Amino acid sequence: MKGASPVLKGRVGTRVLARPQPNATPIRKKIREWLKAGVMDRHIYQPTYAGTPQGGVISPLLANIALHGMETEVRKIVPDRIVSQRELGVVRYADDFVIMHKDLMVIEAAKEVIGKWLGGIGLELKPEKTRIAHTLEGEEPGFDFLGVNIRQYKVGKYRSGRTGKGFKTLIKPSAKSIKAHKEKLRTVVDSHKAAPQAALISKLNPIIKGWCNYHRTVVSKEVFGELDTYLWGITWKWAKRRHPNKSGTWIAKKYWKAEGGRQWSFMDNKEAKLLLHSETEIVRHAKVKGTASPMDGNLVYWSKRLRQNPMVSPRVIKLMGKQKGKCRHCGMLFIDGDKWEVDHILPKSLGGKDRYDPASTAP
């Protein structure tokens, strides 16, 4: 989308929200006042001319607010029936979006509608970043979006599908995302040629964990295995470079140890251990209901969804199920963002049991 500067990506939201709008909502008026307010630095006032810096946590939020309403405009091109609306998919994050439909004419109409709508707020589509692709056929089927590749594969001898439509949809980490991750790992290893093994591990582990957590909800198991092979290769070269006159057996015994069920764990004597991509459990994402919002007051829905959150421990999930998602103390529903702890109704010091029993424990 034109208007998204490569240096100041937040300018998309700033340009739109900072403009005077006759029928602006109260929240948009407040945001405009905030953007125009300037900043105080060491008791010196400075006016603000540019948008928020690239990577700032507020940038996606401003873009989402600025482009709110685009989905509604796109959906006007299809009949207002449940089936027709379901066939049209609109997904947007900040200034990146995807329109999906089985009919090419609908896609082209959506592109025209979006172009006109963006023109009304001073923006326009970037031709070089706008692509129409088939997810099953063509020379380059599928598309990349937010670091993943979305594509359909024909069902055959080596692929099974349950849809009965002759194809299945797979979402995998994109080749671009994998390449960037490999380059980041290699850069860290190359920049720690003389560093202790523990220092190298401490730098690599957060990168591996963050990338894997982002891609754990898609088809990533095979990619995780390939990345582990790549990681072993660059760490072996790192170790070999440090001891060019030592044998491979000596190097392996110094930097790799048997740990648990693994015979080759990159770890030092103080048990600083390198994480593996394949150790990350694949957990499918539970899609949020299309019209649901944390602000809609539907606490029952968000409480049930919390019990499907892979980040919540099985113990807490089981206790929440027994308590129907409610706190035993105040009776209110738990929702995402709440803080809780598991309490023993009867302290263990007085004979309480550590078991899944509402009479014994409660979040």
Residue range 145-189, pLDDT digits in tens = 999 999 988 887 666 666 667 788 899 999 999 999 999 999 999
Instruction: Answer whether residue 320 shows pLDDT above 80.
Output: no
The separation between CA 342 and the C-alpha centre of its own chain, rounded to angstroms, equals 29
Of 41-55, 71-85, 298-312, which has the strongest mean pLDDT? 71-85
Distances (CA, A) of 306 to 10, 301, 303, 343: 31, 9, 5, 19
Q: How far apart are CA 344 and CA 26, in angstroms?
A: 47
Residue range 326-338, pLDDT digits in tens = 777 777 777 666 6
Q: Return the ∠ at Cα 20 (arms to 17 and 24), rounded to 5°.
A: 70
Q: How far apart are CA 36 and CA 49, in angstroms?
A: 8
Q: Note the pTM of the prediction, 2 decimals.
A: 0.71
Q: Residue 293: what pLDDT?
A: 63
Q: Three-state SS for 279?
A: helix
Q: How far apart are CA 193 and CA 209, in angstroms?
A: 22
Q: Which long-range CB contacts under 8 A does 14-20 form with residues at least 24 apart? A: 14/50, 14/51, 14/52, 14/62, 15/51, 15/66, 15/122, 15/123, 16/66, 16/67, 16/121, 16/122, 16/123, 17/62, 17/65, 17/66, 19/121, 19/122
